[in-house]
A and B are shown apart, each in its own frame.
Chain A
Amino acid sequence: MAAVANSIFTPATAARFDKLATIYPLKRSALVPMLLYSQDEIGYVSDEVVAELAVRLDLLELDVRNVLSYYSMLRTVPAGKYNVQVCTNISCMLRGGFELLDHCKHKLGIGHKGVTADGLFSLEEVECIGACCWAPAVQVNYDFHENLTPAKMDAVLADYAAGKGKNEPPSPSIGPAGTEAK
């Protein structure tokens, strides 16, 4: 039986959340992954997401918001279909991370946390993403793009705009039924 009637999520995600709430020694442990997977599906963490996760995990909405506000990858407003995250931390900075960010700003015509008018791209300057040896690096949604130059960046953006980006499925199902994305 579904844990929540009239879930705002797709049946697959709702079933996945039913299961997630049972695998941990403590139900609440599922909160951070659930917030992330909700965002993957809805595009951001909406009031409705907060309300449903609170019900699912027997928490107050306040508890959910308290956690939500802590993590930098979680957002409460929609981003573009492709969220371009440019790292400018030290290793990337030394190899042109700021130039790359500046290039993206001009190319997309938006600033940090901006969204293009057609909703296709959003831009974010992010802290270290763990790709220091392949700097400068950018993440578009969850996909890594490494050893970039402004010209390579243009090609990456053009691919996404043409629907040919990497754009791996954001997440597999939980547990033994997991599928590999690559």
Chain B
Amino acid sequence: MPTLVSHPDEVKVISRRFGMGAKEIDRYIELDGYKAVQQGIEQGPEWIVNTMKASGLRGRGGAGFPTGMKWSFVPKVSEKPKYVLVNGDESEPGTCKDHVIFLEDPHAVIEGTMIAGLAIGAKMGFIYLRGEYRYLLNIVEKAVADAYAKGYLGKNIFGKEGVDFDIITQTGAGAYEVGEESALMESLEGKRGIPRIKPPFPAVVGLYGGPTVINNAETIANAPHILLMGGEAYAKLGTERNGGTRLFGISGHVNKPGVYELPMGYSLRDAIYKVAGGIPGGKALKAVVPGGASCPVLKADEIDVGLDFDQMAKAGTMLGSGGIVVLDETVSIVEFALRTIRFYQHESCGWCIPCREGTDWLKKTLTRFHAGGGNKKDIDNIQYLAENMMGRTFCPLGDAAAMPTLGFIKKFRSEFEEYLAGARVEHPLIQITPVGEPELAAH
């Protein structure tokens, strides 16, 4: 069971009900639950969308697209049914924030889904969790069943004639790629999770060909809070163009790892040293992967930056999924890069050649390099491969593999060179055997 953590610098909006037993529907109602959706029914779709726009909420899955704007893109009139799809396929290494939301406040996700449905005129929503989260699916299914029992879901919800909303919950079965929105729709349609080309965007042609809003679970769970407190009040908690707060999962070499809710723009240095209690054993910081494994690494002297989408972009990296992975001075970047790229190679769906071949060659080259068989040209080759993957695939998985690779090579090139010169601090336990494949002879 995940341990809940707390720090005085936290600003609790989405985590307000964590640890308060809110997965029980009556407790959730006591804690202002299902008020926002009823307000949404009263005030209408335009009010919801405008409030969301005013909140400055940007997608918490990683891309940071303004949520209110996303909802406003859905055509008002559509021949095909419209859908809301909640992305709980949380798979970016370093990210476990949605895990805590589903565990502690599943009704907030359900209520948010209903609000999104009202905003775009959908009568059905899907909550899709990653396959590994089966115990969380059980919690969410119970919550959905409780909401049906109260008449909050189904036909004429809250006794309002003609207002219908249904929710279907399910999990995947193990695939990082399905966290990408178009692959997610494919998976939900019972197919391999392979991305679709865009345009058309899901807001126009999405699930089952109908207009679809796809939001990360944290984004969706924010909607009830925003309607209750008002868009402007939420926006004020954050920085310009980066409204509100967000959940940050701080992991790796810190004294108090955990999921913390911090205002957007909060200092990365303080997140590591104050909130997460600094680095164990008084060791020095080497690097930070600031927003999940796909984000380019920051060096120890680059952490005086605010945690919002724009400041992180300016610093040459990304806010991503809010998964901050902290590396102390003992970590070998060569090894860390190999483990990172091994993940993306394993998860590439194989649809686009630059990603399928690129991740494989990156892994092969890094594996050989790591095992001591590298040469100076490898470093340039790794960079060349990664640069040629960027922007050349249907979905961002190719970029997600290339970006951290380029980060490691550019910022820690000297370490790769020293590694060649014999300064190997290789981890003897890193297996060459690819995850998910039978034992394979090293070659």
Residue numbers of A with Cβ under 8 A of B are 23-26, 28-33, 35-36, 57, 66-67, 70-74, 88-91, 93-95, 98-99, 101-102, 111-113, 125-135, 139, 142-144, 146-147, 168, 170-172, 174-182
Contact = CB atoms under 8 A, between A and B. Distances in A.
A17 B124 CA distance: 21
Nearest to B100: A133
13 contacts: A32-B173, A33-B171, A35-B173, A71-B174, A90-B293, A94-B325, A125-B431, A126-B435, A130-B91, A132-B93, A133-B259, A178-B145, A181-B135
A94 B208 CA distance: 42
B138 A133 contact: no
Contacts, number: 207
A170 B134 contact: yes
A57 B175 contact: no
Contacts of A174: 141
Nearest to B140: A178
Given A133-B258, A133-B259, A146-B1, A67 B142 contact: no
B64 interface: no
A179 B171 CA distance: 16
B118 interface: no
Interface in B243-279: 249-253, 257-259
B190 A90 contact: no
Interface residues on B, range: 35 or more
A73 B131 contact: yes
Contact of B208 (A26, A98, A133, A134): A26
B218 interface: no
A26 B190 CA distance: 9
Nearest to B256: A133
Interface stretch (B310-318, B340-348, B375-383): B340-348
Contacts of A72: 173-175, 436
B433 interface: yes
Contacts of A130: 90-91, 95-96, 98-99, 130, 132-133
A66, A89, A101 pick with most chain B CB within 10 angstroms:
A89
Interface in B5-44: none
B349 interface: yes
Nearest to A143: B135
B175 A71 contact: yes
Nearest to A98: B429
A80 B191 CA distance: 28
Interface string B407-443: 0000000000000000000010111010110110000
A81 B349 CA distance: 29
B241 interface: no
A66 to B, nearest CB: 6
Contact of A127 (B93, B189, B192, B326): B93
B252 A91 contact: yes
A20 to B, nearest CB: 9
